[in-house]
Amino acid sequence: MTITQLYYVLAVAENQNFTKAAEKCFVTQPTLSMQIQKLEDQLDVQIFDRSKKPIELTDVGRKIVTQARNIVNESYRIQDIVDQQKGFIGGEFKLGIIPTIMPTLLPMFLKNFIKKHPKVKLKIEELTTEEIITRIKDGHLDAAIAATPLEDESIKERVLYFEPFVSYIPKGHRLHSSKKIDVSDLDINDMLLLEDGHCFRDGVINLCKVFKDQSDETFQLESGSIETLIKLSNEGLGMTLLPYLHTLDINDKEKENLHYFNEPSPAREVSIIYHKSELKMQIIEALQDVISGIIRGAIAFQNVKIISPLPKK
Amino acid sequence: MTITQLYYVLAVAENQNFTKAAEKCFVTQPTLSMQIQKLEDQLDVQIFDRSKKPIELTDVGRKIVTQARNIVNESYRIQDIVDQQKGFIGGEFKLGIIPTIMPTLLPMFLKNFIKKHPKVKLKIEELTTEEIITRIKDGHLDAAIAATPLEDESIKERVLYFEPFVSYIPKGHRLHSSKKIDVSDLDINDMLLLEDGHCFRDGVINLCKVFKDQSDETFQLESGSIETLIKLSNEGLGMTLLPYLHTLDINDKEKENLHYFNEPSPAREVSIIYHKSELKMQIIEALQDVISGIIRGAIAFQNVKIISPLPKK
DNA sequence: ATATTTTTATAGCCTAAATTTATAAACATG
DNA sequence: CATGTTTATAAATTTAGGCTATAAAAATAT
């Protein structure tokens, strides 16, 4: 049994296809076929059920894949230990970011980071919280930036900053007149929210006293971007909540519709999250340093008491 | 990097010597030298400091060895998963037993076990609790039988039975006249105990109200075997405590010196212990089954309320 | 200091194993 | 039933792991 064989098993299990898996591994398909057969012979058990199309894992196969993932990931840690020892910060690093953080945070720190750590090849992907969690677990992401806490046992979190929410209340809305508003004023039934799966929505919902009654809605519209959300709100379809950083680059006319919360302001906790195995920890810490440095000062509410919308256990 | 290379690193780290490590791995010394050099080249770091005699690990080397042990052990689990699936119970199994359990328990279950599971090659070693703990952690033991609880995070325990203590009180001792005795009668200052490191001693000490005052002792004698303990006791050097199973095969004259405890009788908890990774779990469960079956009936005190000498947290 | 033993590294060779190309067989799809 | 897709097999090639022999280095004995 070799680490390579286990790696091949993982590739086939993931792609459910020998040919595609072979490409991903940069070897030919017969190589995969033979190596996996050899492993199956040695263990004297079928890992894949080749009669099913597409190929499926057997029951033992599933357990073997879990363990194989373990071993392969742990084997990466050896190079990681060496890198750490040498203070080397480099190599490929896959970072996920949720949509409501991506456009505001990324431009702020990216230039800075690549300047400071030119040897790191950052690969950034916009993903939902749910996608991020699976990808961190299966090793397709090294880390991610998302709203926390997640309360997932195999994922660790390091808080980067707290981002207050700001109400966006268009003219004509019942709350438009009040200068500052309170959390208790919120009513989920006249609020526009981001589409499901975006954690920002989860955060907002938890803020509201009244839960949306899905049975008697006149309309249901969930946008994928905050920009659309603002436009819909302008059309009089309801108020919305914006994360503070988003309010920095909206136009002046729309800025008039911003209503800050009375203290303690509701906020979301934004963290860098990573697998509990702490692989590539040097890069994660480098990211944390750069982002924390940038954010210090960027968020005006530093001294404001905030309440987190997601319950901390 | 291959699992074999990591295994070679472990062997050299353990033996602090390439030649001896090579023997243990059943390969020649040049093979080890080359494979380890190759790994060091690939990682671009020295794992061993060859200038020191005997050979030492470098700082990174130490971390690499820890991780390598991890990976090698986890790789064994793959065959284990297959075995478990097939219900196969066999292969080599290294079991440690503490000295005060060995002579009484082993003859009771060994014959039974090898008859029921002929494919398991049991290798049994008499070891102190301390030795057992290190060897379970470094993978040199698959499981062990010892007095519990150990409260060690990386070791799991399964209670096999509770073994009551019986007082052995020679003629002339202040307690010899009383038929049944009570825990509160014990005084550690006139008791003979097994040598340090044997967990039985730890158990007994915890039973006693008065802790031995080491400053004003007239003599200090700690025997390595229960047989010597009885003989010393006969010489009038003090009373002692025997685990119940030991009282079954002492001679009739000495049996007169046995004094059972009032209920609840003090007892020790005897468990099969193993690494938290649960490697070779089928065999551990097979052992548990056989021993539990044998012990049922062998211990007469089954319905007696007992108190454990070691505090349960 | 020099010889001897012990231990690790190097060189060259051999064998086994991994990978490739080419091709066949099995299977699904139109 | 023909065609495209996918996996398995065969033979050739390259690579890697292992061995023997031996050199080099270090420790120990003379």
Best A66, A77, A81 member to test B by mutation, with max B CBs in 10 Å, is A81
Query: Of the candidates B162, B101, B105, B157, which has an alpha carbon nearest to the alpha carbon of residue B273?
Result: B157
pLDDT in tens, A252-270: 888 888 988 887 777 888 9
CB contact under 8 A, A71 and B67: no
At how many degrees (to 10) do helices B29-43 and A59-86 cross? Answer: 70
Closest CA to the C1' of C7: that residue is B19
The residue of chain B with its CA nearest to that of A46 is B82
Specify whether the CB–CB gap between B159 and B295 falls below 8 A.
no
Report the CATH fold assignment for B3-84: Arc Repressor Mutant, subunit A (1.10.10)
User: What predicted TM-score, i.e. pTM, was given to this entire model?
Assistant: 0.81
- The residue type found at B177 is S
**CA dist., res. A64 & res. A84, Å (int):** 30
Choices 3.30.470.20, 3.40.50.970, 3.40.190.10, 3.90.1300.10: CATH for A163-267: 3.40.190.10
Q: Is B312 helix (H, G, I), strand (E, B) or coil?
A: coil
Per-residue tens of pLDDT for chain B, all 313 residues: 999 999 999 999 999 999 999 999 999 999 999 999 999 999 999 999 988 878 899 999 999 999 999 999 999 999 999 999 998 898 899 999 988 888 888 988 899 999 999 999 999 999 888 899 999 998 899 999 998 888 899 999 999 998 888 888 888 887 787 777 777 777 766 777 765 555 555 666 555 544 444 444 445 454 557 888 888 888 887 888 888 888 888 888 888 889 888 877 778 889 999 999 899 999 999 999 999 998 886 765 444 555 555 544 3
Q: Strand D closer than 7 Å to the CB of A30?
A: yes
pLDDT of residue A313: 40
> What pLDDT, on a 0 to 100 scale, did the predictor assign at position B312?
41
Q: What is the pLDDT of residue A3?
A: 96
Q: Which residues of B touch A47 (CB under 8 A)?
A: none
Phi, psi of A255, rounded to the nearest 5 degrees: -60, -30
Given this chain, do its domains B3-84 and B89-162+269-297 carry the same CATH topology?
no
Q: HSE of B262 in the Cβ direction (CA atoms, 13 Å)? A: 9
Residues 6 or more apart whose CB falls under 8 angstroms from that of A93 comprise A120, A121, A122, A123, A142, A143, A280, A283
Structural domain spans, chain A = 3-84, 89-162+269-297, 163-267
With contact defined as beta carbons under 8 Å apart, do A230 and A240 qualify?
yes
Which of A62, A75, A83 is the best substitution to test chain B (most B C-beta atoms within 10 A)?
A: A75
Among B residues 77-116, those touching chain A with beta carbons less than 8 Å apart: 77-79, 81-82, 85-86
Residues 220-279 of A with CB under 8 A from B: none
A178 touches chain B (CB under 8 A): no
Whose tokens are 């006149």? That residue is A218
Tell me if the domain spanning A89-162+269-297 has CATH number 3.40.1710.10: no
Q: What is the mean pLDDT of each run of 10 residues along chain A (313 residues)?
A: 95 93 93 94 92 87 93 93 90 90 89 92 90 91 91 92 87 78 73 62 56 47 70 83 87 88 81 93 94 79 53 43
Per-residue pLDDT, B305: 54
